[in-house]
């Protein structure tokens, strides 16, 4: 049985229900009455000029044995999408697009657009949107009250991708930015916030590809230190969202499909430039991927002679919340490291070739930091490189 997530971003007005219909029985065999409704992520809270992310998860058993075609439509006054080149969409089951969740596997189909020819200049959104619990993205502050609002929301670092000309024309008036783009930095400093300016050409693949490696790395370092970061360009549609896409892909190791779903569901106006990401990927790898700060502190499997279940990693994330003054993922790794030490010691005492109680050890290690023990399976047969796994779990799935 294949669980599939269908998703589409559309400028349909709030209140209009979108649905998916297709060639198989699970999708209604092209009947409008049997079409499966999608749920909008933001609904009436969005602006009329802002699109919404619509999705539904369905079991499609037919995908295992036959070609499944589908399209999106608006219910009520029925309106079908045109589809790519006027054709139906094809449901393709590819292993690289299947992700594993606590409740099983799910196939992520591409995040489609109802309106295929968006212009970055014509779509707008709210001032900011949260992508992850420490990472926000949006448009440039245009009033002092915007900076005050960022401060109230706990933002500690503002990351600006506007060019010098952008800063002069899209800025807070009467603070001198029309002559000196760095003038706003003094205001952020007075509010106790860090300000990073990384000028990037707008609507330009080469410009974004040049920016992505260092922006992704800097974001990773800031978030590791516990900063709450706000990324902006002019409208928060292209350059700033590209930087966050790079971070999710390069630093967290998400697949392109996972990254698209994370971004589109949180900020539907995101314009994806996958060409820039692929162009930047080898440069990120050459410059930063081998840096000690971006690698696991230790391969726990080799260092302690243990194997870790995903359950053990999730337990370390939850249990480490009691460690005050430390930030994820480092605090979860500390719990894992202590647990691996305990499990290794237990294995030696029992003369085992491998520790049999890593999950129990996680509970014992974390138990010194909080008041309850984890009850986890003792079967430990799937190892993970803890750092990337904890990153992805902490920032995407918790």
Q: Which residue is catalytic, options 24, 167, 233, 245?
A: 233
Give the whole-angstrom CA distance, residue 184 versus residue 159: 12
Our CA dihedral for 280, 285, 291, 294, rounded to 10 degrees, sits at 80
Q: What are 87's strand-pairing partners?
A: none
DSSP-derived 3-state class of residue 314 = helix
Give the whole-angstrom CA distance, residue 363 versus residue 353: 22
In this structure, are residues 55 and 3 in contact, taking their beta carbons and an 8 Å threshold?
no
Which residues, including other chains, have CB under 8 Å from residue 43's CB and lie 6 or more apart?
A: 14, 52
Residue among 56, 117, 114 at smallest CA distance from 81? 114
H or E element in which residue 56 lies: strand 52-59
Give the whole-angstrom CA distance, residue 193 versus residue 107: 40
Residue among 134, 115, 131 at smallest CA distance from 123? 115
In this structure, are residues 378 and 357 in contact, taking their beta carbons and an 8 Å threshold?
yes
Give the whole-angstrom CA distance, residue 386 versus residue 398: 16
Residue among 206, 267, 278, 220 at smallest CA distance from 240? 267
Q: SS3 letters for 228-266?
A: CEEEECCCCCCHHHHHHHHHHHHHCCCCHHHHHHHHHHH
The yes-or-no answer on residue 167 being catalytic is no
In this structure, are residues 231 and 263 in contact, taking their beta carbons and an 8 Å threshold?
no
Q: Which residues are catalytic?
A: 233
């Amino acid at each position: 049985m294949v669980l599939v997530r269908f998703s589409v971003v559309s400028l349909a007005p709030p209140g209009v229900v979108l649905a998916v219909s297709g060639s198989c029985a699970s999708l209604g065999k092209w009947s409008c009455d049997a079409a499966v409704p999608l749920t909008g992520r933001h609904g009436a809270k969005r602006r009329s000029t802002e699109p919404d992310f619509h999705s539904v998860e369905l079991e499609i058993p037919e995908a295992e044995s036959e070609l499944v075609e589908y399209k999106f439509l608006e219910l009520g006054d029925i309106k079908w999408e045109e589809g790519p080149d006027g054709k139906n969409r094809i449901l393709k089951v590819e292993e690289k697009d299947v992700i594993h969740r606590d409740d099983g596997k799910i196939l992520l189909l591409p995040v489609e657009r109802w309106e295929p020819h968006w212009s970055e200049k014509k779509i707008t959104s709210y001032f900011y949107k949260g992508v992850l619990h420490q990472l926000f993205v949006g448009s440039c502050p245009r009033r002092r009250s915007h900076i005050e609002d960022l401060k109230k929301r706990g933002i500690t670092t503002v990351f600006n991708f506007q060019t010098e000309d952008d800063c002069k024309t899209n800025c807070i008036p009467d603070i001198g930015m029309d002559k000196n783009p760095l003038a706003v930095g003094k205001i952020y400093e007075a509010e106790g916030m860090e300000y990073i300016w990384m000028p990037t050409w707008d609507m330009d693949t080469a410009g974004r590809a040049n920016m992505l490696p260092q922006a992704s790395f800097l974001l990773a370092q800031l978030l590791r230190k516990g900063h709450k970061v706000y990324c902006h360009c002019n409208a928060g549609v292209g350059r700033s969202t590209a930087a966050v896409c790079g971070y999710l892909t390069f630093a967290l190791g998400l697949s392109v499909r996972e990254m698209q779903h994370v971004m589109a569901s949180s900020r539907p106006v995101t314009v994806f430039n996958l060409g820039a990401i692929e162009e930047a990927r080898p440069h990120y790898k050459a410059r930063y991927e081998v840096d000690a700060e971006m690698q696991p502190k230790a391969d726990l499997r080799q260092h302690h002679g243990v194997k870790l279940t995903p359950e053990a990693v999730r337990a370390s994330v939850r249990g480490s919340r009691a460690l005050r003054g430390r930030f994820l993922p480092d605090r979860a790794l500390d719990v894992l490291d202590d647990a691996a030490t305990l499990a290794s010691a237990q294995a030696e005492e029992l003369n085992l070739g491998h520790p049999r109680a890593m999950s129990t050890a996680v509970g014992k290690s974390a138990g010194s930091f909080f008041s309850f023990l984890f009850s986890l399976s003792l079967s430990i047969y799937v190892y993970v490189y803890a750092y990337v796994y904890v990153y992805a779990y902490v920032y995407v799935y918790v």
